[in-house]
Amino acid sequence: MRVPLAALLALALPLTAAPAAAAPSPAAPATTLGSVIPAPVEVRPGGPAFRLTKGTVIEAAATARTVAQRLAEALRPATGYPLPIVARAPRFTPVISLATGAVGARLGGEGYRLGVRANEVDLRANSNAGLFAGVQTLRQLLPAAIDASTPRQRRWTVPGGDIVDYPRFAYRGAMLDEARHFHSPDEIKRYIDEISRFKVNYLHLHLADDQGWRIQIDSWPRLAQVGGAPGTGVDGVGGGYLTKAQYRDLVRYAADRYITIVPEIDMPGHVNAAQVAYPELTCDGVAPPPRTDTDVGYSSLCIGKEVTYRFVEDVIRELAAMTPGPYLHIGGDEAQATTPADYLTFEKRVLPLVAKYGKTAYGWNEIAAAPAARKAVAQYWGLDTSNATLAAAVRQGTRVVMSPANLAYLDQKYNPQTPIGLDWAGYIEVRTAYDWDPGTRLSDVPAAAVLGVEAPLWSETLRKMADIEFLAFPRLAAIAELGWSRSHDWNSFRSRLGAYGPRWDAQGVNFYRSTQIDWVG
Ligand code: IFG
């Protein structure tokens, strides 16, 4: 029986015209291209959505493989898809392509270009750090359920269009106080995972204080053995310390997420734990009683004794040897038990020791009084909008990281009803944490001298991971936007934050549902 040609052509056409497995047109994407925290520089929505399917591959050159691994780890649990990482995707295969190359000097080392098409997500950057930043954005463009830890049956769409993005400030930090309460390496790693989503790139660890010493130092072994013993946290809980192996593992874990660790040993004040372990570090040679209360400003190294400087140099040397990052933080705050003249003597001898071991000195803004601080970074934690001593040091070359305690201290309560946290700097709701500019906060410090911003989380009232998360989120997201984005719009931020809530729910993050935000879901 002859089949009319027209009938044959009608049969043949669909087989030849359609590309392989053209996906049915996906439902409207669950997110919009601009709903990203921190806000990207340029967002141009348009074109068809990309749909992640079990056939999707991740294409990455060998040099971008570690970032591709991070992406695969992020997408596999909730999708259950294999998402193989390949050097070259087969033709007509839905692909997420990661590649470094010259994508424009204005993007710098952390910027990226993200293009979303029907069958391809194209992520380009000058370096892997930029690709990693782009991956964090891509994660937020997928439905919130992508952060679930077990497979969900749903469409995984990414809205079509283009994003070009790069940071305002080079230093976008978080700080975790390990001394008042010791948080385990796994808790620190979880915090690293969570802050890396907001393109934070420094994690400052406060490793010693009056209550406890939290890092192994071989040349002074009793520091960790005694200062890190059980019962050395506030209220006698939260003892412990990081071995060098654990510290190095954290440095690597953070680096794999493009976060640099900044260790801090606070001196010449906040040293009671060191003096309990080594009484020779006091002026009278008598060990002070261990302290588990939350007073500050009562301890000081003995500025006139040479053993003090052997101790300081040994600690700096060992910290520098296990810290690839550029900064060593030597504290310098609340040295009420050190005379002003002794403080200057101490900083004059100690600040140059940091440089001797190849690092840039970093300290709380009180160090600005010392002439040697002109090559250092000062972390401003004051409540005021000017600081003459810091401004004078800046004129000599000091650079500044902004951590105003009344705006960026995540250990401050949200409001009087907040069950944990402190309130000496005032209540900090989400909008308070968002509505300021790190570049102009200090009227006598020019924006050009500001390296960036950091959100400290002191741990006097923290006991577990849920406490860290409750105080850190959502305000860390606000500070992270101040560090990364040039745009600043509270209504836009509060809307994007409301849409972010389901992601913290999907991750099991114990965030604070501020009444200032319309939380989705
Ligand atoms: N100030 C102290 C911290 C901590 C903090 C709690 C600085 C630089 C109050 N110093 O902040 O040790 O106790 O909010």
Quick one: 203 and 119 in the same domain? no
Ligand 1 nearest-atom number relative to CA 331: 8
Within-domain flag for 82: yes
Long-range contacts of 251-254 (CB under 8 A, 24+ apart): 251/322, 251/323, 251/324, 251/325, 253/189, 253/192, 254/192, 254/203
512 CB less than 6 Å from ligand 1? Answer: no
CA–centroid distance, residue 26 to ligand 1 (Å): 51
Domain boundary (124, 143, 165) is at 165
Instruction: Assess whether 67 and 94 both reside in one domain.
Output: yes
Residue 501 is inside which H or E element, if any?
Answer: helix 490-507
Q: Is the pLDDT of residue 6 over 70?
A: no
**Is any ligand 1 atom within 6 A of the Cβ of residue 423?**
no
Residue range 88-117, pLDDT digits in tens = 999 999 999 999 999 999 999 999 999 999
| Ligand 1 center–CA 381 separation, angstroms | 9
**Domain C-terminal end among 145, 165, 185:** 165
Other C-beta atoms lying within 10 Å of the C-beta of residue 400:
28
**Which atom of ligand 1 has the smallest separation from the CA of 266?**
12
Q: What is the pLDDT of residue 11?
A: 46
458 CA: nearest ligand 1 atom: 6
On whether the pTM is more than 0.75, the answer is yes
pLDDT reported for residue 30: 72
Predicted pLDDT of residue 16 = 40
Give residue 5's pLDDT. Answer: 53
| Rounded Cα–Cα distance for residues 63 and 81 (Å) | 24
Which of 119, 150, 165 finishes a domain?
165
Same domain for 340 and 231, yes or no, is yes
Total of domains in the chain: 2
Report the nearest-CA residue for atom 7 of ligand 1. Answer: 333
- pLDDT over 50 at 210, yes or no: yes
Question: Is the residue at 492 inside a domain?
Answer: no
What pLDDT band is residue 27 in, cutting at 50, 70 and 90? low
Any ligand 1 atom below 6 A from CB of 380 = no
Q: Is 447 in the pocket of ligand 1 (CB under 6 A)?
A: no
Same domain, residue pair 232 and 128: no
Residue-level pLDDT at 324? 98
* Residue 113 lies in domain: 5-165
pLDDT, the chain, mean: 95
Mean local confidence (pLDDT), 122-146: 98
Ligand 1 in reach of 409 Cβ (< 6 A): yes
Mean per-residue pLDDT, 55-64: 96
Residue 22 confidence (pLDDT) above 50: no
| pLDDT number for residue 4 | 52
User: 191 and 109 in one domain?
Assistant: no
Distance 269 CA to ligand 1 centre (A): 12
Catalytic residues: 334
Ligand 1 atom at shortest distance from the alpha carbon of 425: 14
295 shares a domain with 252: yes
Cα 381 from Cα 412, distance rounded (Å): 13
Q: What is the pLDDT of residues 370-428, one digit of tens each?
A: 999 999 999 999 999 999 999 999 999 999 999 999 999 999 999 999 999 999 999 99
Distance 282 CA to ligand 1 centre (A): 22
Pair (122, 175) in one structural domain: no
> Quick one: 160 and 176 in the same domain?
no
User: Using 50, 70 and 90 to split pLDDT, how confident is the model at 521?
Assistant: confident
CB of residue 422 inside a 6 A radius of ligand 1: yes
Distance 326 CA to ligand 1 centre (A): 23
Query: Per residue in 67-85, pLDDT tens?
Result: 999 999 999 999 999 999 9
Residue whose CA lies nearest to ligand 1 atom number 8: 333
Residue 513 forms part of a structural domain: no
| Burial status of residue 390 (CB atoms within 10 A of its CB: 0-12, 13-18, 19 or more) | buried
